[in-house]
Amino acid sequence: MTNDQVYAAGLLNRALDPSTQPPEIQDFLRAELDLLREFVAAGARLLDVGCGTGRHLRMLADRISLGVGIDYEHSYIAEAHGQVVDPRVHFVTADATLVPLRSTFDCATCLTNTWGTMTDKVGVLDEMRRLAPLAQTRLLSVYSLDSIPPRREWYRRLGHSIAEETDDFLMTNGGFRSEQFSEARLRDLIGDCTIRKLAKIGYVATF
């Protein structure tokens, strides 16, 4: 299986069930929500890349003027549509390297190590830069190397034991591949950016 097939089989919904999440993962997810409330200004136009079932846009719906979520897994987009009825929020089934939009946004996010599961990372950054053209308005949250032990346990609980582990990625026996990053590798991939720790197991990069 490849990541798109694993997602199509519904991994995300099980992963977002807090009962599957080790405490370090729960802390990271909470820290992300706090960060987003700071990062997204009232009235902003926000693009969320790899939005899944739309939980971040749902949380921010009443403070933004426009929200668009992009995800290539159509069943997640359909679920997001069903859960958010706010007319300011839209969901589109599309690949993050080829977003079918021409208008621009005040900010763009790619959260919860979504970027670490994407194949063409530089292509995704290019689309984020095109769609949110101002520097420091694009935000990625990713896992650091410290995330490996809790992720091993989380994936095991989801029925995905680890088949291969390197400094750069974990690959499960269910075919799910998820990368983690050192600060140096993040800088290499992103170029000019600001990097901060996020909880004990992650980084947030703005560029």
Ligand X SMILES: C[S@@+](CC[C@H](N)C(=O)[O-])C[C@H]1O[C@@H](n2cnc3c(N)ncnc32)[C@H](O)[C@@H]1O
Stretch of residues binding ligand X (CB under 6 A), selected from 60-68, 69-77, 184-192, 198-206? 69-77
For residues 130-160, one letter each, b for 16 or more C-beta atoms within 10 angstroms of the residue's C-beta and e for the rest, the string is ebbeeeebbbbbbbbebbbebbbbbbebbeb
Span 178-197, contacts to ligand X by CB under 6 A:
none
Q: How far is the CB of 152 from ligand X (least distance, A)?
A: 16
CA–CA dist 186, 143 (Å, integer) = 11
Span 77-136, contacts to ligand X by CB under 6 A:
95-96, 111-114, 117-118
Give the chain's end-to-end CA distance (angstroms, integer): 33
CA–CA dist 24, 51 (Å, integer) = 22
Nearer to ligand X, 81 or 192 (CB): 81
Q: How far is the CB of 163 from ligand X (least distance, A)?
A: 19
Q: What is the DSSP letter of 121?
A: H
151 sits near ligand X (criterion: CB under 6 A): no
Among 28, 39, 72, 207, binds ligand X (CB under 6 A): 72
